[in-house]
């Protein structure tokens, strides 16, 4: 039997708060976690709710989560101050498998940057790193990394105007033309439609990829079934899935369950998630 | 192979209701990973979200949960039924209601979708209006079972709660009302966990049902009592995590053995593993499952010799 890490929530005080922009902030906690990039914690605000958050910052004795103010919980969370209490269970799930190679692409869309940030920090300094967002002010952690970034925004307010997937395709083609080594792995997180497009691009080019999925969760450890996606349990088998599994996941980029368990298309799912 | 209510099962293990069973894909995987009979998450009369999180907490020696019976509602599950129609595994559909009429409405409709059995949940502690309030009383248990029995044409399993003052009497009432099998037990308690830093109950619903290894002795006692009171088969569950736990359940009188919380501790492979351990134990002791069923009752044991009262 695997050792259990956290069972009932561990209450921690906010050690530091970093406001990134109007809608984004990171909260830091002084606590050691045995952690793999891409894993998540269940975060409890007593009296409000409990939600899964990826760990966006990880050092020996401090970790952080990044919050986008969207619904009731996240608006409450973003209003917390140093000294305020939050409960944590986890870390849960399977994260990214880091590969020690420069021939790696990281593709982050919007707040999908959060789970990839601790991964970027442990990978080779010469990886190909694409980050996209709606506009300039939604580019998370603008000053955090030493690695060069290819930025793109939907409105062109910073970097390339267009989609992260266009930059990825261009680079794959350039590498072919210049007879450079192809990518050995693409790590991606962002809107599911973006991740699905990246998966398809990778399939066409025979590149393995790992993407991080999101579904409504309850237990966090693979028992309650709230987050099932096809035959996979997102909280336990994922949230990071590799190409081999993605190929078999009928519900990837198509179906997600509402809180009631009702399967709906992703547009309906995400419009509900953004309010809850 | 095992015969249970006229169905052939590859082994005696059952996926407990409320665990994983949210879509046909995962039910199929659980079956493939060594589970003889899988149970869908309980289906209710109308769309219901269940409780706010936190809803499920692991306590190490078991779990506490108040998920709160989320369900799309029986009239809103066309996609699932379509997927399940093509299934190649045996399936229990679990149903609940807030009145005898609702149990009848849901079960009658679900019966038309041809699950292999229907389990009526008269035992969930996590709603004030559904489930357990029916299963703690002989008359209301009898009324629900007999009403549902009239409107379904698949075998009926009554899932019971250890909160009943005398679970054997409830089981007998269900048998008298026409139940084809008993499933025991649902979660125990309800219990409560208070976070002392937050100074409030951890579960949003405050209290919740206990499951896993910490309730196994309660489950064994319940199955033992029920076995003495009824002659219909029993699905014994509650904290079964290993093959030896399964042997214990069978010796208490269970025909099939359910697994739920152990998925937390041993993953989905728990079904194959427990089945292998059970078979190895039987082989080591040179006995069959039939030979050890009810063995803990000794010579005075005999089903059908009245209630344990």
Mutation target vs A (from B42, B56, B241; most A CBs, 10 A cutoff): B56
Whether chain A has a CB inside 8 Å of the CB on B49: the answer is: yes
Question: What ipTM describes this predicted complex?
Answer: 0.93
Q: Does residue B78 have a pLDDT over 50?
A: yes
Q: Does residue B303 have a pLDDT over 70?
A: no
pLDDT tens, position by position, B6-47:
999 999 999 999 999 999 999 999 999 999 999 999 999 999
pLDDT of res. A273: 82
pLDDT of res. A5: 53
Determine, for residues B197 and A11 on separate chains, whether the beta-carbon distance falls below 8 Å: yes
Catalytic status, residue B124? yes
Q: Which long-range contacts (CB under 8 A, 24 or more apart) does B135-140 make?
A: B135/B159, B135/B160, B135/B161, B135/B163, B135/B164, B135/B170, B135/B186, B136/B161, B136/B163, B136/B164, B136/B165, B136/B170, B137/B164, B137/B170, B138/B169, B138/B170, B138/B172, B138/B173, B139/B173, B140/B100
**B residues 264..293 contacting A (CB < 8 A):** 264-268
Note the residue count of chain A: 276
CB B116, CB B156: distance < 8 Å: no
pLDDT of res. B305: 47
pLDDT of res. B307: 46
Which is more confidently placed, A272 or A132? A132
pLDDT tens, position by position, A26-42:
999 999 998 999 999 99
Mutation target vs A (from B25, B77, B194, B271; most A CBs, 10 A cutoff): B25
Q: Which of A176-180, A204-208, B123-127, B242-246 shows the lowest per-residue confidence on average (mean pLDDT)?
A: B123-127
Q: Does residue B304 have a pLDDT over 80?
A: no
CB B28, CB B48: distance < 8 Å: no
Tell me which chain A residues have a C-beta less than 8 angstroms from the C-beta of B55: 218-219, 224
Determine, for residues B60 and A47 on separate chains, whether the beta-carbon distance falls below 8 Å: no
CB A187, CB A105: distance < 8 Å: yes
pLDDT tens, position by position, B174-192:
999 999 999 999 999 999 9
pLDDT of res. A276: 64
Out of A51, A219, A231, the one facing B56 most closely (by C-beta) is A219
Determine, for residues A259 and B22 on separate chains, whether the beta-carbon distance falls below 8 Å: no
Q: Does residue B301 have a pLDDT over 70?
A: no
Out of B29, B47, B53, the one facing A231 most closely (by C-beta) is B29
- Three-state SS at B114: coil
Out of A47, A230, A233, the one facing B200 most closely (by C-beta) is A47
pLDDT of res. A7: 79
Range B292-301 average pLDDT: 82
Whether chain A has a CB inside 8 Å of the CB on B86: the answer is: no
Tell me which chain A residues have a C-beta less than 8 angstroms from the C-beta of B265: 1-2
Shortest distance, CA A64 to any CA of chain B (angstroms):
20
pLDDT tens, position by position, A183-216:
999 999 999 999 999 999 999 999 999 999 999 9
Tell me which chain A residues have a C-beta less than 8 angstroms from the C-beta of B262: none
Active-site residue, selected from the candidate residues B35, B117, B124, B174: B124
Please, what is the average pLDDT of chain A? 94
pLDDT of res. B127: 79
pLDDT tens, position by position, B255-291:
999 999 999 999 999 999 999 999 999 999 999 999 9
Range A118-147 average pLDDT: 95
| Residue A1 pLDDT class (50, 70, 90 cuts) | very low
By the 10 Å C-beta count (0-12 exposed, 13-18 middle, 19+ buried), A77 is classed as: buried
pLDDT tens, position by position, A221-251:
999 999 999 999 999 999 999 999 999 999 9
| Residue B309 pLDDT class (50, 70, 90 cuts) | very low
Mutation target vs B (from A224, A237, A268; most B CBs, 10 A cutoff): A224
Q: Does residue A3 have a pLDDT over 50?
A: no
Q: Which residues of A touch B (CB under 8 A)?
A: 1-2, 4, 7-9, 11, 42, 44, 46-47, 49-51, 85, 87, 89, 218-226, 228, 230-233, 236, 250-251, 257-263
Whether chain A has a CB inside 8 Å of the CB on B47: the answer is: yes
| B69: nearest Cα among B24, B136, B147, B121 | B121
pLDDT tens, position by position, B214-269:
999 999 999 999 999 999 999 999 999 999 999 999 999 999 999 999 999 999 99
Q: Going by C-beta distance under 8 Å and a sequence separation of 6 or more, which residues neighbour residue B102?
A: B45
CB pairs A-B closer than 8 Å: 136
């Amino acid at each position: 039997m695997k050792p259990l890490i956290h069972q009932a929530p561990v209450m921690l005080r906010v050690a530091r708060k970093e406001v990134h922009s109007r809608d984004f902030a990171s909260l830091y906690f002084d606590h050691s976690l045995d952690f793999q990039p891409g894993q998540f914690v269940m975060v409890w605000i007593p009296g409000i709710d409990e939600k899964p958050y990826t760990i966006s910052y990880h050092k020996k004795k401090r970790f952080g989560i990044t919050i986008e103010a969207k619904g009731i919980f996240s608006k409450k969370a973003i209003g917390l101050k140093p000294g305020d209490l939050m409960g944590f269970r986890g870390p849960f799930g399977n994260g990214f498998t880091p590969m020690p190679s420069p021939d790696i692409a990281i593709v982050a869309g919007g707040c999908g940057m959060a789970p990839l940030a601790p991964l970027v920090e442990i990978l080779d300094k010469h990886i190909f790193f694409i980050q996209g967002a709606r506009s300039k002010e939604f580019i998370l952690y603008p000053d955090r990394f030493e690695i060069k970034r290819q930025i793109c925004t939907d409105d062109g307010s910073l970097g390339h105007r267009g989609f992260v997937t266009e930059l990825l395709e261009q680079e794959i083609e350039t590498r072919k033309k210049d007879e450079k080594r192809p990518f050995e792995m693409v790590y991606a997180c962002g809107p599911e439609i973006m991740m699905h497009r990246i998966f398809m691009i990778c399939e066409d080019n025979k590149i393995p990829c790992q993407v991080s999925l999101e579904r409504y969760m309850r237990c966090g450890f693979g028992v309650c079934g709230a987050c099932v996606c096809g035959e996979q349990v997102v909280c336990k088998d994922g949230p990071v899935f590799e190409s081999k599994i993605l190929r078999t996941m009928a519900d990837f980029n198509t179906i997600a369950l509402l809180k009631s368990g009702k399967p709906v298309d992703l547009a309906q799912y995400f419009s509900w998630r953004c309010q809850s | 192979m095992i015969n249970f209510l006229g169905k052939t099962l590859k082994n005696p293990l059952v996926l407990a209701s409320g665990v994983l069973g949210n879509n046909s894909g995962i039910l199929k995987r659980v079956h493939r990973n060594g589970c003889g009979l899988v149970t869908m998450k309980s289906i209710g009369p109308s769309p219901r979200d269940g409780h706010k999180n936190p809803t499920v907490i692991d306590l190490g020696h078991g779990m506490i949960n108040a998920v709160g019976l989320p369900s799309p509602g029986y009239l809103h599950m066309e996609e699932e039924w379509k997927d399940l129609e093509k299934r190649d595994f045996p399936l229990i559909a679990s149903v609940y209601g807030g009145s005898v009429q609702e149990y009848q409405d849901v079960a009658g409709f679900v019966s038309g979708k041809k699950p292999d059995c229907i389990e009526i949940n008269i035992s969930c502690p996590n709603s004030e209006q559904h489930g357990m309030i029916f299963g703690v009383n002989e008359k209301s248990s009898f009324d629900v079972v007999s009403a549902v029995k009239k409107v379904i044409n698949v075998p009926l399993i009554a899932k019971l709660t250890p909160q009943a003052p005398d679970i054997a009497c409830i089981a007998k009432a269900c048998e008298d009302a026409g139940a084809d099998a008993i499933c025991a037990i649902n979660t125990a308690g309800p219990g409560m966990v208070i976070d002392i830093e937050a100074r409030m109950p951890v579960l949003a619903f405050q209290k919740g049902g206990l499951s896993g290894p910490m309730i196994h002795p309660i489950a064994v006692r319940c199955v033992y009592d029920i076995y003495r009171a009824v002659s219909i088969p029993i699905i014994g569950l509650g904290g079964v995590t290993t093959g030896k736990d399964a042997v214990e359940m069978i010796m208490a009188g269970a025909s099939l053995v359910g697994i739920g919380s152990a998925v937390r501790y041993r993953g989905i492979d728990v079904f194959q593993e427990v089945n292998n351990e059970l078979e190895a134990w039987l082989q080591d002791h040179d006995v069959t499952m039939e030979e050890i069923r009810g063995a803990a009752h000794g010579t005075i044991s005999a089903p059908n010799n009245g209630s344990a009262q």
